[in-house]
Structure 1
Amino acid sequence: MSRLRTEIPGPRSRELAGRRAGAVAAGVGSVLPVFVDHAEPGLLVDVDGNRLIDLGSGIAVTGVGNPAPGVARAVREQVDRFSHTCFTVTPYEGYLDVCERLAELTPGGHDKRSVLLNSGAEAVENAVKIARHATGRPGVVALDHGYHGRTNLTMALTAEEMPYKRGFGPFTPGVRRVPGSYPLRDGLTGAEAARRAVAAVDRPEGVACVVVEPIQGEGGVIVPAPGFLPALADWCRSHGVLLVADEVQTGFCRTGDWFACDREGVVPDLVATAKGVAGGLPLAAVTGRADVMDAVHAGGLGGTYGGNPIACAAAVAAIDTMRDLDLVAAARRIEATALPRLRGLAPDVVVQARGRGAMLAVELASADQAARVAARCHAAGVIVLTCGARGNVIRLLPPLVIPDGLLAEGLDVLEGALQ
Structure 2
Amino acid sequence: MTPHPAEDAPAATESYISSSDAHSAHNYHPLPVVVATADGAWMTDVEGRRYLDMLAGYSALNFGHGNRRLIEAAKAQLERVTLTSRAFHHDRFAEFCTELAELCGMEMVLPMNTGAEAVETAVKTARKWGYRVKGVPDGRARIVVASDNFHGRTTTIVSFSTDAEARADFGPYTPGFDIVPYGDLAALREAVTDETVAVLLEPIQGEAGVLVPPPGYLAGVRELTRERSVLFIADEIQSGLGRTGRTFACEHEGVVP
1:79 aligned partner: 78
The amino acid that maps onto 2:182 is: G
Distance (Å, rounded) in 2 between the aligned partners of 1:14 and 1:101: 45
Question: Hey, which bits of structure 1, 4+ residues long, moved more than 6 A?
Answer: none
Alpha-carbon shift at residue 266 of structure 1 (Å): 0.5
2:42 aligned partner: 43
Does residue 211 (structure 1) correspond to residue 200 (structure 2)? The answer is yes
1:106 aligned partner: 104
Alpha-carbon shift at residue 61 of structure 1 (Å): 2.0
1:327-366 mapped onto 2 (5 Å cutoff): none
Distance (Å, rounded) in 2 between the aligned partners of 1:114 and 1:166: 34
Distance (Å, rounded) in 1 between the aligned partners of 2:24 and 2:186: 46
Q: Which has the higher contact order (CA 8 A, sep 6+)?
A: 1
Distance (Å, rounded) in 2 between the aligned partners of 1:96 and 1:152: 33
Using structure 1 for the length normalisation, give the TM-score: 0.56
1:163-242 mapped onto 2 (5 Å cutoff): 164-181=166-183, 193-201=184-192, 204-242=193-231
1:66 aligned partner: 65
Distance (Å, rounded) in 1 between the aligned partners of 2:155 and 2:215: 32
With over 3 angstroms needed to count, the CA separation of the structure-2 counterparts of 1:83 and 1:158, relative to structure 1, is farther
Does residue 244 (structure 1) correspond to residue 250 (structure 2)? The answer is no
Distance (Å, rounded) in 1 between the aligned partners of 2:78 and 2:47: 30
The one of 119, 129, 132 equivalent to 2:127 is 132
Distance (Å, rounded) in 2 between the aligned partners of 1:93 and 1:133: 31
Distance (Å, rounded) in 2 between the aligned partners of 1:241 and 1:113: 20
Q: What stretches of structure 1 of length at least 5 have no aligned partner?
A: 182-192, 269-419
Alpha-carbon shift at residue 34 of structure 1 (Å): 2.2
Give secondary structure in 1 for the equivalent of 2:108: strand
Give secondary structure in 1 for the equivalent of 2:179: strand
1:415 aligned partner: none
Preserved CA contact (<8 Å) 2:35 2:45: yes
The amino acid that maps onto 2:196 is: V
Alpha-carbon shift at residue 157 of structure 1 (Å): 3.2
Name the one with the larger strand percent: 1
Deviations 1:41-65, CA, capped at 9 Å, x for gaps: 2211112222112121122221111
Distance (Å, rounded) in 1 between the aligned partners of 2:59 and 2:12: 27
1:115-130 mapped onto 2 (5 Å cutoff): 115-130=110-125
Distance (Å, rounded) in 2 between the aligned partners of 1:48 and 1:97: 43
Preserved CA contact (<8 Å) 1:147 1:157: no
Distance (Å, rounded) in 2 between the aligned partners of 1:214 and 1:3: 30
Give secondary structure in 1 for the equivalent of 2:23: coil
